[in-house]
Amino acid sequence: MKDASYRPYRAVLLTACMALALVAGCKPKVKAQPPVVAPPAPPPAAPTVTLQAAPTTINKGDTATLTWSQRHAAFDLS
């Protein structure tokens, strides 16, 4: 007779465990965060070329010296 008196308690305990499992299993799913993307690197500086003549004015038959320099060029032409 002792086992028969535990049947209602077992049924209540089983129902409570099933309800707890149902509630615990129904959590909203957490959305995955998108990966952090590094900002793109800035573009390289534009190449510049400077050309100079000395003297700045010449007469026919005179000589002049030309010099030039470059910055941020991918190759060296000097």
**Per-residue pLDDT tens over the stretch 16-35:** 877 877 776 666 777 888 89
Q: Chain-wide mean pLDDT for the chain? A: 81
Task: Tell me whether residue 35 is in a domain.
Answer: no
Domain interval for residue 51: 2-28+47-71
Is residue 74 classed exposed, middle or buried when 0-12, 13-18 and 19+ CB atoms within 10 A define those classes?
exposed
C-alpha span between 76 and 71 (Å, rounded)? 9
Task: Tell me whether residue 8 is in a domain.
Answer: yes
Task: Tell me whether residue 41 is in a domain.
Answer: no
Domain total of the chain: 1
User: Structure pTM?
Assistant: 0.39
